Amino acid sequence: MFLLPTIVGFLYEFFFAIPVLSDIVTWGTGFATITTAFIIHCVILAFRFATGDSKVVPILAIIATLFTWIPIVSWFVHGFIALAYFIDLFTGRRSHRAS
């Protein structure tokens, strides 16, 4: 498993799971952080396709990113995504499909 993109995704989501601070940054950048998160998850998904690793977490993260524009909901969504990446870092299961 290519770890660096997953670690970047985890740290990014972990930071934005922090209440108030994440909202200040998000509103201060004009919601550009949501676009950045979407791009990060797409890059992670591309790496997962290249390495054959499980694609579940990046796909969930891309879908969940659509709900992060809602202030209080975003804390839980980012926390959920960070937890999913954290678990994925330690399980690191490959996709069930043969390459």
DSSP string for 38-91 = HHHHHHHHHHHHHHTB--HHHHHHHHHHTTTTSHHHHHHHHHHHHHHHHHHHHH
- Residue 34, domain member (yes or no): yes
> Per-residue pLDDT for 92 more than 80?
no
Query: In which band, very low, low, confident or very high, does the pLDDT at 32 lie, cut at 50, 70 and 90?
Result: very high
Task: Find tokens 């839980």 and name the residue.
Answer: 76
Report pLDDT for 3. Answer: 83
> Per-residue pLDDT for 38 more than 60?
yes
Q: For 46-84, how does the pLDDT look when each residue is reduced to its tens digit (9 = 90+)?
A: 999 998 888 999 999 999 999 988 888 999 999 999 999
- Residue 93, domain member (yes or no): no
Number of compact structural domains in the chain? 1
Quote the domain boundaries for residue 74: 3-86
- Residue 75, domain member (yes or no): yes
- Residue 96, domain member (yes or no): no
- Residue 20, domain member (yes or no): yes
- Residue 58, domain member (yes or no): yes
- Residue 7, domain member (yes or no): yes
